[in-house]
Amino acid sequence: MPEPDAALIVVDVQNDFCPGGALAVTDGDAVVPVLNDWIRRFAAAGRPVVYTQDWHPEDHCSFKEQGGIWPVHCVQGSPGADFHKDLVVQGAVFRKAFARDKEGYSGFDGRLSGEGDLTAQPDLASWLRARGVRKVYVGGLATDYCVRATVLDAVRHGFQAVLIRSGSRAVNVSPGDEEKAVADMQAAGAAVIG
Ligand code: VGL
Ligand code: ZN
């Protein structure tokens, strides 16, 4: 049972990060059944489940064509930006890195998805605080980028943070990036389970 002040953050479980996607993470889709169990447990306990969604314009600065390091991925409204078809999605969605000239790996850079201008929408930290959340469980894709950044930001914003390791997979641009990311999160004060 999740604690009464806990929330679950599901990071970027999107087609482009799964096998066959533009920036596929090895075994990325393996997180889906694991996270679905967590999602169902939080939902059953009435605790918030939030989803982050990488949400880039087609000329985003992180893309190689623009001098960045990544292939084109998670373009706003494209199938690659959709959540994996088997992911249980019931909860608020926070979109991030939606401005052309700004990268944002952390879910805490995101804004609640809704009508109109995203920058006018609530951010994740205020949304969680308004619901009495003090502890966040975080899993998804990718451990060494958006999951790491979200966990570190959670701690920075004063939340207790727990990495769900079994529900996360890494890009591993360099071998060992995953272990390094986990060590960074632990050093910042996050707990690791799974
Ligand atoms: C991510 C690389 C580029 C992630 C997003 O979700 O971890 N990684 N954009
Ligand atoms: Zn991205």
Catalytic residues: 12, 96, 146
Verdict on whether the full-model pTM lies above 0.85: yes
The answer to whether residue 1 sits within a structural domain is: no
Closest to 154 (Cα-Cα) out of 142, 171, 137: 137
In this structure, which residue's CA is closest to atom 2 in ligand 1? 145
pLDDT per position as a tens digit, 144-185: 999 999 999 999 999 999 999 999 999 999 999 999 999 999
DSSP string, 67-131: T-SB-S--BTTSGGGSBPTTS---SEEEEES-STT----SGGG-EE--SS-GGGSPBHHHHHHHT
CB 42 within 8 A of CB 172: no
Q: Indicate if ligand 1 lies below 6 Å from the C-beta of 141.
A: yes
Distance 38 CA to ligand 2 centre (A): 24
Confidence of residue 116 (pLDDT cuts 50, 70, 90): confident
Count of the separate structural domains present in the chain: 1
The answer to whether residue 39 sits within a structural domain is: yes
The answer to whether residue 67 sits within a structural domain is: yes
Q: What is the CATH number of the domain that holds 113?
A: 3.40.50.850
The whole domain housing 34 covers 6-193
The answer to whether residue 100 sits within a structural domain is: yes
Letter string b/e over residues 15-50, b meaning 16 or more CB atoms within 10 A of that residue's CB: bbbbeebbbbbeebbbbbebbbebbeebbeeebbbb
Torsion over CA: 73, 76, 78, 80 (sign): positive
Distance 73 CA to ligand 2 centre (A): 6
- pLDDT computed for residue 131 by the predictor: 97
Q: Indicate if ligand 1 lies below 6 Å from the C-beta of 18.
A: no
Letter string b/e over residues 92-109, b meaning 16 or more CB atoms within 10 A of that residue's CB: bbbbbbbbeeebbbbbbb
- pLDDT computed for residue 83 by the predictor: 98
Phi and psi (nearest 5°) for 79?
-60, -30
pLDDT per position as a tens digit, 117-130: 999 999 999 999 99
The answer to whether residue 164 sits within a structural domain is: yes
CA separation for the pair 115, 121 (Å, rounded): 9
Q: Indicate if ligand 1 lies below 6 Å from the C-beta of 9.
A: no
Tokens representing 95?
A: 């979109």
The answer to whether residue 133 sits within a structural domain is: yes
- Residue 146 is given by DSSP the state I
pLDDT per position as a tens digit, 3-21: 999 999 999 999 999 999 9
**Which residue in the block uniquely carries the two structure tokens 């390094």?**
180
Distance 134 CA to ligand 1 centre (A): 25
